[in-house]
Amino acid sequence: MVEFITMAPTAGDGAFIGAKNKTIGGRSVVDETAEREPTLEYIKAIAQAAEQGGFSSLLLPTGTNCLDSLAVAANLINHTETLNFLFAVRPGSMAPATFAKQFATVHYWSGGRALVNIVTGGSPTELASQGDFFDHRARYERTREYIQVLNKFFTEDVFTHHGEHFQLENASLYPKLASKPPIYFGGSSDIALDVAAAEADVYMLWGETLELSAERLSEIKKRAAATGRQLSYSISFQVVLGDTEKEAYEKANSIVSKSQQAALEEKNNLAYKGESVGVKQLHDLMENSKDKNFHIGPNIWAGLTQVLSGNSIALVGTPDQVSERIIEFVDLGFDKVLLRGFPHLETIKEVGELVIPKVREKLAQRQTIK
């Protein structure tokens, strides 16, 4: 059965994107969503709504504009009962021994509800502000070794590791984990696919068209098979719902209706000057669909990609339409679906009430027929 994931907007939330600026580290940047601050009460409400709505996991992002993912998870475990916390870490920002210790503590106190998301990239400017000056390939080679070291912490009593990036002598982890948690990982470049195939347990993709997603999935499956491994696969979308398809697209267009020109220019610069292959792929989808009002498939819309740099392709339509599109991606081979939207709290409540039950009901009916 498909598993549903959502995320916590720990950089802020709102009904509009790209409407305001904020200062981070002395730099003025476009704030994707600046209407709602990521207070404990707000993020707690999102976590509880996700749990009640049938989501299994909550992704806690990483970045200079986000709250610390580990600190957020440590707080939220006291306000939830079954929700897993998929918190992101950048290998260039935290030593594997430090992360393993913090992760194991949250995992232990939460009763095993902690998951790992390894994030290799980011804008070169942001990475440099954190002291990370590795080039693209070197970052992914470091990620490969980072995952290897984490898995040793998670599975071995005592180990010694002598690698290119990390050196550990007689390392061990307390508290010990009952079982190795899956490693979630994403990346679209050639080196990223190689690392995913060899080291990841769950490969995460940003949503695109059905056809492109099938191609991406086929490629990573082929590489994983060449290493003798089978992975789990996750796909991510924004969601905009309406009572009618027309209403849903009106709501979708409203989200970008207040975007500043600076937001569009900043996104263009990131896409063309940055190193992220995935960001460039989504940006090309957006650019090539302008004459179709960013429609790239039935109920699939690239309008948010004008401003957003990551997970930006949206499923837009009625709950029935969106549930049908999700099932089409499940049929491709995705067993996990990450859904989010603007504003996030209201969106995941709608998804939990109107979309997830429909997806599960339709998939269950198939099993009954078989």
Q: pLDDT by residue (tens digit) across 216-254? A: 999 999 999 999 999 999 999 999 999 999 999 999 999
Pairing of strands 336-340, 3-7: parallel
Residue 263 CB contacts under 8 Å (≥ 6 apart), including other chains: 17, 18, 19, 30, 32, 306, 307
Residues of the chain whose pLDDT is less than 50?
Answer: 23-28, 30
User: Residue 97 burial by CB count (10 A; 0-12/13-18/19+): exposed, middle or buried?
Assistant: middle
CA distance 77 to 64: 23
Instruction: Report whether 299 contacts 239 (CB < 8 A).
Output: no
Give, as one character, the DSSP assignment of residue 351: I
Residue 289 CB contacts under 8 Å (≥ 6 apart), including other chains: 295, 296, 302
Residue tagged 């027929």 (tokens): 369
Residues pairing with 117 in the sheet: 88, 184
91 is written with which tokens? Answer: 């290998």
Model confidence, pTM: 0.94
Helix (H) or strand (E) holding 184, with range, is strand 183-186
| The CATH classification of domain 3-238+319-369, taken from the options 3.20.20.100, 3.30.70.120, 2.40.50.110, 3.20.20.30 | 3.20.20.30
**CA angle, corner 126, sides to 121 and 129, nearest 5?**
125
The answer, yes or no, to whether the previous bond of 124 is cis (omega within 30 of 0) is: no
Give, as one character, the DSSP assignment of residue 306: G
Instruction: Report whether 18 contacts 305 (CB < 8 A).
Output: no
Please compute Rg for the chain using Cα positions: 20
Phi/psi zone of residue 175: left (φ > 0), alpha (ψ -120 to 50 degrees), beta? beta
Q: Residue 125: its pLDDT value, please?
A: 80
Q: Residue 257: its pLDDT value, please?
A: 94
- Domain segments of the chain as ranges: 3-238+319-369
Q: pLDDT by residue (tens digit) across 4-25? A: 999 999 999 999 998 865 544 4
Q: Residue 276: its pLDDT value, please?
A: 86
